[in-house]
Amino acid sequence: MRAGDDDFGGLVNRATTLWKENFGSLLVLSLVFILVAWIPIANAGFIAGYTRAVLKVARGGKARVGDIFDAWDCFGDLFVYLLLVVVAQFVLFHVPFLGQVAGFVLSVVVAPGVYAVIDRKMKFMEAFRWSFQAIQADFVNWLLAVLIGSIFIAAGAVLLGVGIILTLGWGSLVMALQYDKEEQPRVIIL
């Protein structure tokens, strides 16, 4: 993180700056991602590619559309990780009210693990453990990152649905920058 990004407001400002500076490439990247992400099972690979591209931008690099199709090395663990989360979400959302709240809390708790599988190539069980540790160490900022990132993404979806192409990168950058605040060594993707 750069100086001045220690607080969450600084993180959002940094995400906004990066989003503006990379608007065109993030727009094209998001458009292609939206077009391919609906493909069942393969979408885990596309999620990994999109996330790595956003991490590149967060780390000062340039994203390419081809990044979406170049992240199959973590496919198996990411697929299992996401499948377990989806099953848990499905069960929770069938519990009136408290299930909805628990489902949101689960989304926050597992968010760091998604990045760990994609960026650090962690195995899915190790990523769950690491995710819980990351949340325990910085719960408020992870909660804010997931909440604000989701609001930015949803704001675009409200704009006739296609607006998500405009804001997906912005919300994703908020969460990527929160992930990059973690102190453990990471794999830098060039």
CA distance 136 to 148: 19
Query: What are the domain boundaries of the chain?
Result: 8-180
Q: How far apart are CA 173 and CA 128, in angstroms?
A: 22
Asked whether residue 145 carries a pLDDT value surpassing 70, the answer given is: yes
pLDDT band at 183 (very low <50, low <70, confident <90, very high): low
What does the pLDDT read at residue 163?
85
3-state per-residue secondary structure call for 76-107: HHHHHHHHHHHHHHHHHCCCCCHHHHHHHHHH
What is the band of 159 on the pLDDT scale with cuts at 50, 70, 90?
Answer: confident
For a pLDDT cut of 90, what percent of the chain falls above it? 84
Closest CA to 34 of 150, 173, 169: 169
Quote the CA–CA distance of 13 and 121 in Å, as a whole number.
29
Per residue in 31-87, pLDDT tens?
Answer: 999 999 999 999 999 999 999 999 999 999 999 999 999 999 999 999 999 999 999
Query: Where does the pLDDT of residue 6 fall: very low under 50, low under 70, confident under 90, or very high at 90 and above?
Result: low
In this prediction, residue 62 carries a pLDDT of: 95
Q: Tell me: the pLDDT tens digits for 11-27?
A: 999 999 999 999 999 99
Question: Token pair of 130, please?
Answer: 């690491």
- Which amino acid is located at 101 in the chain? V
Average pLDDT over residues 99-126: 95
Q: How far apart are CA 146 and CA 111, in angstroms?
A: 8
Q: How far apart are alpha carbons 62 and 64 in whole angstroms?
A: 7
Query: Can you tell me the mean pLDDT for 128-153?
Result: 95
Cα 6 to Cα 1, 11, 177, 180: the distances in Å are 7, 7, 11, 12
The Cα 69–Cα 52 span in angstroms is 11
| 158 three-class SS | helix
pLDDT at 149 over 80: yes
Residue 175 tokens, joined = 């969460």
In this predicted structure, the answer to whether residue 147 has a pLDDT above a threshold of 50 is yes
pLDDT of residue 188: 46
Which is more confidently placed, 189 or 182? Answer: 182
Q: Look over the chain and give the mean of its residue pLDDT values, rounded to a whole number.
A: 91
Q: What does DSSP assign to residue 73?
A: G
